[in-house]
Amino acid sequence: MNYKNLIIAFLFVPIFAQTQCLDDVHGIIWKGKKSIISFRDLASHAAPMLWFSPDEILLYREDGLKQLPNAFPFQQQGENPVVYYKIRRVYGKDKLTSIINADSENSNLKLLDLTSVKAIDLDYYYYFEEETGPTAHHHDIESITLQVQIMEPIDCSEYNYAINVKKVIARAHGNHWYNNVFTVDEQTSFPLSILVEEGKHASCTDKNADGIYTPTYDVTERINDAWGVRDIITSGRLVTGGFQAWMAKPRDPSSIVFPPVPETSPHYESFIERYAEFTSGSEYELRPYPMYKKLKDENKIEKSLDYFMKQKKPHEWPHFQRVVGSANVKQWIKEEKSYSSLSLAYRWDDSQRISFSFPLLLFRNFEAPKTGGWLYNKVYLGDFDSVIKDSGFAFEKLMGHQITYSSSASKWIDTYVGLGYEIYDIDPDENRTKYDAFFVSEAGIKLRVNIARTPLKFLRYLGTDFWGIRVGWKNLGFSPFVDSGFVVEIGAGVF
């Protein structure tokens, strides 16, 4: 009996070993036994579909073939649309072993050694000669970023390395609060589907590739601020600050521009089965993103295009960041400067004050669970010619602190509510001090203006695209209220 068990165990070892082949991991776009992969091969396996509006007026050439996105004007267009890739950052054990031929001008010779690489930030850019609608201009560069992880399965006979996509960030209108972001799960379709906004070309994630943007499903972060896809923006009218379903037009596969999906892709067969009839004349060419500094030095970038290109950093890629163990790769995309939530305002509640807002966790924004929106700290200081009279005593306010909730950080009109405390000197003798704290509650609305495309855009150097005014009502104390009154704040920042 013991011998039979040993024989059975020996025969089924390979089967048991195969169960370690990452079958439950979502978002795998490449598998292989070799540890070396080229930049181009990686970009080809992860490349997205671009799903345009059926009314995109520049989508087709006169011969009926698709022409968007365009090649940069300093490059030859070719017969197909063009999408550019950039390996923004490589996280690994050592730069010399992680990136092979990093300085080569031939993209086919640039290689990654997966034995050393742990994670990658992979960008895709698409260029348009022009955009349409209000504030239309020549040149438009849009982008998405994929957070990619390198995995090494244990005891897997089929492959030694796997690459999977963890998160997708699709950008809209140059403001990081508008980003459409989702974490890959079992319902994510590959190749990734990206909805392209009509006329303005903002990017929107479409997790299940149904051609419809569904809030809270197609985005999983900043759900109240995500831009979605607003095809009606070319009309010049934007009725609400938040996304609504009527803003996006229905799409069908005939308006997709497809990536060159490799036959070695784990998703190739399902891709062909679903889209084969639509791919003819609709496939884009994948190219490495141009080296900006070299082109700049050679005076090949015209001034109006240079304005857009110089913002797409890093110009020399990839950057390398050393990590020790996969556990140290916690958050690949760092919050950029324009995603700051620090706010400074003039405040009047019963006198003139200065008000500061900053993240709830000091260095990290806290998105409210279930409802979305943001929780943050608000502190206000200063007390000029101010008194709150109660039973004949003059209470001098020293400071106030509230934990405040706002439903978004970017909508042009927003509500807020805050709970906290205010500290007073309640001793009527000016030469003595006696502190006391009172519960405070406040609620109201805030009007925001994005100044990025206004004559006041020079104020962006203060670190924010938003200025606003807040009007609310504050109650001091609780059962009974000690005092009540209006609150007005004017200042810079999303909160």
| pLDDT number for residue 20 | 72
| pLDDT number for residue 165 | 96
Burial of residue 478 (CB within 10 Å: 0-12, 13-18, 19+) is exposed
Give the Cα separation of 230 and 23 in Å (integer).
37
| pLDDT class of 430 with cuts at 50, 70, 90 | low
Cβ density class 37-64: b for 16+ within 10 Å, e for less:
bbbbbbbbbbbbbbbbbeebebbeeeee
Give the Cα separation of 476 and 341 in Å (integer).
27
Residues 156-193: tens digit of each pLDDT: 989 999 999 999 999 998 888 899 999 999 999 999 99
Residues 38-84: tens digit of each pLDDT: 999 999 999 999 999 999 988 998 888 899 999 999 999 989 999 99
Cβ density class 134-148: b for 16+ within 10 Å, e for less:
eeeeebbbbbbbbbb
Domain positions in the chain are: 2-334, 339-492
Give the Cα separation of 482 and 474 in Å (integer).
11
H helices of 25-69, in order, are 39-46
Kindly tell me if the per-residue pLDDT of 32 is higher than 90.
yes
pTM metric for this prediction: 0.87
Give the Cα separation of 243 and 27 in Å (integer).
27
Give the Cα separation of 171 and 200 in Å (integer).
12
Q: Is 236 left (phi over 0), alpha (psi -120 to 50) or beta?
A: left
> Is 419 in contact with 441 (CB distance < 8 Å)?
yes
> Is 421 in contact with 404 (CB distance < 8 Å)?
no
User: What value, to the nearest 5°, has the Cα angle with vertex 345 and ends 339 and 349?
Assistant: 140
Q: Give, for 97, the enclosing helix (H) or strand (E).
A: helix 95-98
Q: What is the CATH number of domain 339-492?
A: 2.40.160
What 8-state DSSP symbol labels residue 273? Answer: H
Kindly tell me if the per-residue pLDDT of 482 is higher than 90.
no
Give CA separation, 259 vs 79, 80, 279, 330, 452, in Å.
14, 11, 9, 30, 33
